[in-house]
Structure 1
C-alpha cells in the first residue's frame, strides 16, 4: 500500500473500500477497492474528508484485508456455515440451516490474542436459524503479513473448526406426567400442551403421553416401556420437589438410568434432573415449567435435539448466566440467560 494525496491519485487503483456515513440515516460503500480513481472522484473524496488514500501495490509478503478476512472465515467454518462476500474488509459467517451453534471458545480466545486479527461470534450453544449471521472476522490494517494470516488460519481450524452448526434431529419424544392429583382426575394436566410447544421448534415428534400416580415403580416401568417402543427422549413432568409425595427422582433412579445431576444452578428451574438410559436422555421437569416461560429445560433442549451428551461440568457452568431477569419483554434466546462462557 502507498499513501498518496487524492489529487495525485488519478488513474491509480484504490486499495480499500471507503465508507460514506450520514448519521442516523445511511451507511454505504461510496468507493470500492480496486476502483480506478478519476478526476471526477477527487472532489467526492474530499467531501468525505479524504485528503489522502491508499493505492494498492501488490507484494508477496502482504495480504489485502478482504483476502485475509475471507481466508480466516474459510478456515474457521465447519458444517452448516455459509460465507458472505468480503465487504469493508469483513466477512460474515451465516447459518446454512436451523440448528445448534457451536463455538470453540478457547480457540476464539487464541485467535483474538493475535495482533491485528478480530473474530467476533454469537454465544456458544445458541439456537440459530437458517441465514442468521453468526460471526464476523476481519483484520485491523488494510494489509497484513502473510505469516500472520497463516498462523491465524491454523488457530481457526485446529483442533476443530472454530464455528459450526449442528442440525437438530427429529427425536421421538415421550411424556410421563406424574401425580395422584392428575392421575385420579382431581386437576387437569397442563404439561402435555406445554411440552408439545417446546419440542416443536426442534422438529421433535410427539410420541405419546401417559399419566401415572406417585409411584417410583410405575414411573420406572413406564420409562422402560417407552424405550422399548422406540422413544429417543423422555420428559417426566411433576413430582420433582422435596415434598414427601414427590417421587419422580426416585422413579428415574429406579429405572437404572445414569443420573447426571439433580438440581441445576439455574433460576427458574433448579429442581431439574437429567439422566440417561443408554443413549436416551431423560429429563425430570419441575412444575415451575408450567408458569415460567423459560427454565433449565429450555437451556438444554437445543443440545438434546442436536444429540449432544450433556455431562455434569456442562450443568455446573450454567450457573454463570443461569439467573433469569424475567424481563417484561422477553428476547430469549437473544439474551444472557443460560449463556455460560465455556459450555
Structure 2
C-alpha cells in the first residue's frame, strides 16, 4: 500500500475503514475497506480530517475483491436468479421465481477448497419461493491473484454451479384404492389432503377415481389418466403395505412403468413407491398412508423434484437415510429444517 494526497485518490482502493465521529450523532465507518474512491467522496474525506489516504498500489496480477466477486457470481448464477449489488467483495443471489433449487456439491467444494474465496448456499433439492435467498459469495482478502480466479473459472466450466428449475407439471391424477373406500364403508379422506398439497404448487387435479383392490383396474386407470385425461403425474393412494390384499405396487408394475424404488429410508414414508411411465417419463407414485395424516413425509421431499421434471434416482432416494427422520416438531418449519437434506 502507499500514502497519497486525498485530492489525488480518485479511482484508488482504500486499505482500511474510515470512521466519522460526531458526538451524540454518529460513530460509524463512512467508507469501508476496499471502497473505490469517487470524485464526490473527496469533500467527505476532507471533512473527516483525511488529507492523506493509504491505498492499494495497482498490480496487473491482482484483482480487487469486487471484481473477483463478479467472477464467483458468474460461476454460480443461472437465468432465474437475482443478484445483489456488489459490496466489500460480496454478492448474494435470490430466487427470481418459485422453483426447485439445486446445487452441484462437488464443484461447490472445489471452489471453497481454493482458499481466499467462499460460496455458502442453502441446501440443494429444496423448494424455494420468489425472493428467497439462495447463496452468498465472498472474496476474503481485499485483493486476490487473477490467476487463482481464472483457474477456478476454468475448473468450474460453463454450466452454473447453482440451478433454479421452474415447476413444469401442472396436471395430476389421484387414484384412491381400497375396497373399504370403493364400497363406501369409509370416506376418502386422502384425496382432499393431496388436493391441498398440489394447490401449493398450482397443480390442477384433472382426474380422480376410487378403485377396488384389483390390480387390473388400477393399472387400467393409470393408463387412462395419462393417455386420455392428460395427467402429467399420477398419485395412487392405499394398498401400499405388505398385506396380501394390498395390490397397488403390483398394479403400477403391470403398467410397464419403470420402478425406481419401492421403499425409501424416510420416516414418515417408508412404503413409498416411485416409478416413471412411458417415453415421456410420467411420474407414477404409490403413497403410503402416512401422507394422509403426517404433516411432512417422503412425498413432500420428492414432489418438488417431480414437478420440476428432475428425474429422481434410486441412489438419491437411498441417500435420504441421513436426514430422513422427521422429528415431528410441535411447530413445523419445513423446509427450513434438516428433514430430507441428505440428497
Range into which the TM-score falls when normalised by the shorter chain? 0.7 to 0.9
Matched with 2:328 is: 326
Q: Provide, for residues 87-129 of structure 1, a one-character-per-residue CA deviation record: whole Å limited to 9, x for no partner.
A: 1220011212111111110000111110211111111111111
The 8 Å contact of residues 76 and 153 in structure 1, kept in 2 or not, is answered as: no
Distance 1:54 1:136 in 2: 29
TM-score (ref. length: structure 2): 0.88
Further displaced range: 9-18 or 129-138: 9-18
Q: CA separation in 2, counterparts of 1:170 and 1:122?
A: 24
Q: Secondary structure at the match of 1:202?
A: coil
Unaligned runs of 5+ in 2: 20-25
* Counterpart mapping for 1:175-324 below 5 A: 175-229=174-228, 230-278=230-278, 279-324=281-326
* Equivalent-residue separation in structure 2 for 1:333 and 1:28 (angstroms): 37
**Cα gap change, 1:241/1:17 in structure 2, threshold over 3 Å: closer, same or farther?**
farther
> Which residue number in structure 2 is paired with residue 169 of structure 1?
168
Which digits, 9 at most, give the CA deviation of each residue in 1:128-161, with x for residues without a partner? 1112210111111000010011112223445x31
**Is this contact kept in 1: 2:2–2:57, CA < 8 A?**
no
Structure 1 residues 245 and 141: CA distance shift in structure 2, 3 A: same
Aligned equivalents of 2:200 and 2:28: distance in 1? 36
> Following the alignment from structure 1 to structure 2, what is the Cα–Cα distance between the partners of residues 298 and 186?
29
Q: C-alpha deviations, 1:23-79, integer Å up to 9, x for none?
A: xxx998631512346243249xxxxxxxx9751333211111111111210132123
- 2:57 match: 57
Report the RMSD for the aligned CA atoms in angstroms: 2.3
Distance in 1 between residues matched to 2:249 and 2:54, nearest whole Å: 68
Structure 1 stretches lacking a partner, 5+ long: 21-25, 44-51
Counterpart of 2:48 in structure 1 is 41
Deviations 1:162-210 (A, max 9, x none): 0121110143100000011111111111112111111123231211210
CA displacement 1:277-328 (0-9 Å, x = unmatched):
1111111001111111111111000110001121111111111111111111
2:96 aligned residue:
96
Look up the match of 2:86: 86
> CA contact under 8 A between 1:92 and 1:134: conserved in structure 2?
yes
Q: Give the number of aligned pairs.
A: 323
Name the SS for the 1:269 alignment partner. Answer: coil
